[in-house]
Structure 1
Amino acid sequence: MSCVDAIGELETRLGETTLEDVAGRHRRERKELQAKLQAMKKNAPKNNKNKRKEFLEEMARLEGELEQRHKSELEEAAVAPEPIELPVEKPTTVESDNNEDNEVNPTKQQEQRVSKAQKRRNKKEQEAREREQEIRVELQNAANQPSPKQIELQQITAKLSARKLALHMIASDGDCLYHAVRHQLQLHALPGHSVQELRQETANYVRAHKDALICYMTHPDTGDLLNDEQFEDYCHDIAKTHAWGGHIELKALSSLLRVPIEVIQAEGASTLLGQDEFGGAPLIICYHRHIYQLGAHYNSTMPLE
């Protein structure tokens, strides 16, 4: 192998994989996974509790495996490559009976050629090291920055602390709203209900107040108001599946339980439903946008010890 070929091979090896390549590939893989999870979420079974549970577990597993693999690959790519010794081709000896210059000049020319190649190699290696160091600094700075989840938790915790309250964590299983309300009923020594009872009573309330509520109910894909068939499907999902609950379900729960419900979130004022109708101490729950990647979530609260 000639000296020039060795330089070309070395430059190819130096450019194979860098932190920049790894970070770019990770961004693409995260986007692809999110698209896959959204497709899985749309196709998730609504009427089969076991299948729904398996679906949620599979989504969590995929996210965990991707995160673990990305972490390992970043750690491997962050290791600076060891200097690679470039083989230097020995100058060929030119035999001549003429004069000494014929013996010395080819060697000097070869040394000059290798020296220029070495300078180019050193320059490329230095640029690669500087680029990778910049990427490591950027990644470290990003790691040190609080995530949206951390910022949201800090803001909600601060609001609760000011009111002598603390978070009570609720499992993320699609029933978080109903579990949070059930916990509040127990905390306030109010008549208890199971999650399934709360779901069934909420569905009954929405059906009974269709004329007042349907003007606020839109299809998640088209944005159009629900027709009669879609409205009945909506009520069925409340009662028989793990469909996530929102403002309509909160309004229904406040009315059928005849108790105010206050929803605290990170930004903006809290939402208070039923205060004018019922009065008294409200049930206090928290709404999170970023705590889980699969969607919004509700937690309960409890007195700060």
Structure 2
Amino acid sequence: ASPRPMEKQEGKTFTFTYLCFVSAAKIQGMKNTVPKNDKKRRKQLLEDVAKLEAEMEQKHKEELNNLKELSPEQNKEYSATINMSRLELGGTDQIQPTRISKAQKRRDKKAALEKEREERIAEAEIENLTGARHLESQKLAHILAARQLEIKQIPSDGHCMYRAVEDQLREQSNSWTVPALRSRTAEYMESHADDFLPFLTNPNTGDLYSRGRYIISITNCYFILQLRALSHILQTPIEVVQMDSPPIVVGEEYNGKPLILVYMRHAYGLGEHYNSVKPLLDKTIENES
């Protein structure tokens, strides 16, 4: 027996739905295989997709023409089938994940980390506006401005005091280096232990260091003692400017222009820091008494 009209239409509906799924899958597969930065291939892809969509549209029109042959009940059932196939196709297209390359993932991660870093810096700067570091910098700037000087930043790398001395000597056309300064300071303090030993005490007990312990601690002893040794080695006075106390001067017995360092207690989270100085560039700064 020949199939009923609706059975024929159901077969056509299934064929149309199946072809829609195949075409949609093919289009999605084509999109995934062509890189977005390949303009030439992307252009060809758009043309091929347009062709496939045109073929699907033509098949759709043919199916719509067949609706005229159906009864109202069959027409309603057929339209529901077509609409369901469209919803399924739309859902299939929407759930296809967009592929992200490893390079793009790395760029996104780097951008996120950089944004987080900038936010932390901004927060720290806001905090510093009322913090001890900011207040100390302001006070020192005014103290130095009164002498037509300003701070010259020295890296915080564990050698800041010696680097500040090196910078001051360079201004006087002296070629001392940080390693040489450190080495000569240790040698001087070892050979003149009696001059420095009375000023060194154990931080835990308060007892004076023994000579053996002193030799071990030479390179880690108080900075002011190392500066005292440097003043003898260089035979020049060294002045240390600080925030709330008068400047400290070592080597006053020597003539000549003193080396000027700036002591900062709150410059960095790791502790005290030394900077150098340079002539004040902006002469319009008003000094505060």
Whether the 8 Å contact between 2:154 and 2:160 is mirrored in structure 1 is yes
Partners of 2:260 and 2:128 in 1: CA distance: 32
Q: What corresponds to 2:180 in structure 1? A: 197
3-state DSSP of counterpart to 1:285 = strand
Which one-letter code corresponds to 1:263 in the other structure?
Answer: V
Structure 2 stretches of 5 or more lacking a match? 1-115, 282-289
Q: Structure 1 residue 170 and structure 2 residue 154: aligned?
A: yes
Structure 1-normalised TM-score?
A: 0.50
Q: What corresponds to 2:264 in structure 1? A: 288
Structure 1 stretches of 5 or more lacking a match? 1-63, 72-141
Whether the 8 Å contact between 1:250 and 1:261 is mirrored in structure 2 is yes
**Total equivalences in the alignment:** 163
Q: Structure 1 residue 271 and structure 2 residue 248: aligned?
A: yes
Q: Structure 1 residue 221 and structure 2 residue 197: aligned?
A: no
1:155 deviation in Å?
A: 0.6
3-state DSSP of counterpart to 2:273 = strand
Q: 1:246 aligns with which of 223, 229, 243?
A: 223
Identify the structure with bigger relative contact order (alpha carbons < 8 Å, sequence gap 6+): 1
1:1-305 to 2 correspondences below 5 Å:
68=120, 143=127, 146-189=130-173, 191-235=174-218, 238=219, 243=220, 246-275=223-252, 277-305=253-281
Question: Runs of at least 4 residues of structure 1 off by over 6 A?
Answer: none
- Cα 1:180/1:143, change in 2 over 3 Å: closer
| Deviation sequence 1:73-92 (CA, Å, 0-9, x none) | xxxxxxxxxxxxxxxxxxxx
Which one-letter code corresponds to 2:272 in the other structure?
Answer: A
3-state DSSP of counterpart to 1:192 = coil
Identity %: 37
Q: What corresponds to 1:121 in structure 2? A: none
Partners of 1:267 and 1:209 in 2: CA distance: 32
3-state DSSP of counterpart to 2:142 = helix
3-state DSSP of counterpart to 1:172 = coil
- Cα 1:245/1:151, change in 2 over 3 Å: same
Q: Find the structure with the greater CA-based Rg.
A: 2
| Cα RMSD for the two superposed structures | 2.5
1:229 deviation in Å?
A: 2.2
| Deviation sequence 1:59-117 (CA, Å, 0-9, x none) | xxxxx98x949x6xxxxxxxxxxxxxxxxxxxxxxxxxxxxxxxxxxxxxxxxxxxxxx
Partners of 1:244 and 1:303 in 2: CA distance: 31
3-state DSSP of counterpart to 1:290 = strand
Whether the 8 Å contact between 1:262 and 1:271 is mirrored in structure 2 is yes
| Deviation sequence 1:130-162 (CA, Å, 0-9, x none) | xxxxxxxxxxxx959621111110011101111
- Cα 1:219/1:162, change in 2 over 3 Å: same
Whether the 8 Å contact between 2:128 and 2:134 is mirrored in structure 1 is no
Which one-letter code corresponds to 1:268 in the other structure?
Answer: S
